[in-house]
Amino acid sequence: MRFAPSPTGGLHIGSARTALYNYLFARHHGGDFVLRIEDTDAARSEQRHEASILADLRWLGLRWDEGPDVGGPAGPYRQSERSELYRSLAEGLVAAGHAYPCFCTAERLERVRARQLAEGGTPRYDGRCAAIPAAEAAARRDAGEPAVLRLRVPAQRWLVDDLIRGPVEFGPLTFGDFIIVRSSGAAGYNFAAAVDDREMGITHVVRGEDHLTNTVRQLAVFLALGAPAPRYAHHSLVLGADGGKLSKRYGATTIGDFRRLGYLPAAIANYLALLSWSHGDDEVLSLSRLEAEFRIEALSASPAVFDVAKLDWLDHQHIMRLDDETHRRLVAERLPAGTLAPAVAALAAALRPSLERYGEVPEAAAPILQPPPGPVDERVAAAHWQLTQFAELRAQAAEWLDEADARELLAAYRSWAKQAGVAARDALLPLRLVLTGREHGPDLVFVVAAIARSDALARLARAGAASR
C-alpha cells in the first residue's frame, strides 16, 4: 500500500482519510505501508508542506514502513529525485513504439479542443503526431524542436476491477494519447505514479473516486510497460452538509486545523474510518481495533457527509476514555502559562464531563481562573449573610483544596444553610455567581478546588460578603 501526497499545502481531511484507509488495509493484511511524496509540481511544492504532512500523519498515529525520512529498498521516495528513471523508461517506450514525440503547439491543441467541444465531443488528443515516422521524429528532437512524449493508447475497452465499486468500464474513446513526459523533461502525473507503483511493488491502491479517470490511464501505462497493475479501490469523497466539496467555508478542512482546535488524533482517525464504514452501534474504536477489524470491501460507495456534531461526540467519548494523567496534561497545555498544579487538576476534573475538544478549555476555564468582571449581581448582594458564612469556612481551610476537601467544605456549608433555613439553591447559586460570574458551569466542588483560598476570599470580599 502507498499514500502519495503532493506537498502543495496542508494535509486535507479527505487526503488523511485516504492515508488512513491505505494504512488500515496494509496493517490488517500484514502488508507494508509506503509514504511517497509526489512533488513533480516544482512551482507549488514546498519542503515546509512536506514536513507538515509528515507531522500530521504521525500525529494521527500512522507509521510507514518506507518513506523519505525512513528510507527503504525502493527509494528514493520523492518523485523529484526519480526523474532519470522516468526519462529512461519513457525513452524505452518510444523505442518500442508504445510512445512517440508530439510537436504540437499549445495553440494548435487549444484549437482542436475548442472544435471538439463545439461538436459535442470529449476533448482528447487527435493523434496528429502519432503518424510521424520514428526517424523523422528523432531528427526533429535532435535538432532541438520542443516535444512532449505521448503514450500510444490502444483503442480498447478498459476495466477497473474495483474492490469497493465492482467492475467499472471505460470505452475506447474515453481518452486519447496522453502526455507522459513534458517538453521540460518532467514526467506527467499518471506516468510517474504508475512507474513508481511498479518499481515499489505496490499491490493495492486505495484512493478517492475522483481518481477513477487517472486509474484507467495508469492501466494503459502498465500495459505499455508489460507490468501487472495493482488492485484498486476508489472510496467516496467527503462532502459538506450542502452536498458540495468540503472547503474552507465549512471551517476546518486540514488535519492542522483540527489539531489546533484540540481534537484527539484517535477521535479523528475513528471518525474518518466511519465516514463510509458502518460498525453498528459500537462506534468508539481505537486505532488498534480499526487495524484488526477494518474491511475495505465494507466501505460504501455513496458520498460521505462530514458531520461536525458526530465528530464532537466521538471526541468526547475518547476524552472520557483517556487516563487521568494524559487528560490533565492536555488540559494544562491549553491553560494560561503558570497555572498551578492544584488548579489544573481541579479544572481537568471539572471540564471533563462536558468537554468535546481540548480547544474549548481556555474559554471554559476563564470564568474560574479570572475574577468575574462587571458589577455585582443583585442576587449576590441579597445573599450577604450566607456568603459571609462561606467566607468564614473557606478562611479556616487550606490554601488549596483537593476534591475530597472541597466536598467536605461544601457539605459543611450546606449543613449550615439547612440549619439556618436557607434553601440549597439560595446558598449555592450566589456562591457560584460570586466565584465565576455565571449561573451555570462545572460541578461547584471542582470550582472551589480550582480557586486558591486567597483568590476565593478576594472575590467574596469584592462582592462585599467577607467579614474582616
Residues with a known catalytic role: 248
Backbone angles phi, psi at 24, to 5 degrees: -65, -40
Taking the C-alpha atoms of residue 424 and residue 413, their distance in angstroms, rounded to an integer, is 9
422: nearest Cα among 381, 387, 457: 387
CB neighbour burial string for 81-99, b if at least 16 within 10 angstroms, e if fewer? ebeebbeebbeebbeeebb
First-to-last alpha carbon distance for the chain, in angstroms, is: 72
From the list 347, 312, 318, the residue with the least C-alpha distance to 332 is 347
The DSSP result for 165-225, as a single string, is: TEEEEE-TTS----EEE-TTSPBPHHHHHHHHHHHTT--EEEEEGGGHHHHHHHHHHHHHH
Q: Do residues 179 and 188 touch, judged by C-beta distance below 8 A?
A: yes
Looking at residue 145, its amino acid is E
Return the HEC string of 99-111.
EEEECCCHHHHHH
Contact 120, 70 (CB under 8 A): no
How far apart are alpha carbons 349 and 342 in whole angstroms?
Answer: 11
d(CA 38, CA 200): 14
Q: Record the cell numbers describing residue 85, joined without a space.
A: 528513471
* Residue 125, helix vs strand vs coil: coil
- d(CA 181, CA 70) in angstroms, rounded, equals 29
Q: Are 238 and 275 in contact (CB under 8 A)?
A: yes
C-alpha distances (whole Å) from 420 to each of 36, 315, 457, 465 are 73, 45, 22, 17
Tell me how far apart the alpha carbons of residues 206 and 203 are, in angstroms, rounded to a whole number.
10
Q: Check if the beta carbon of residue 273 is closer than 8 Å to that of residue 24.
A: yes
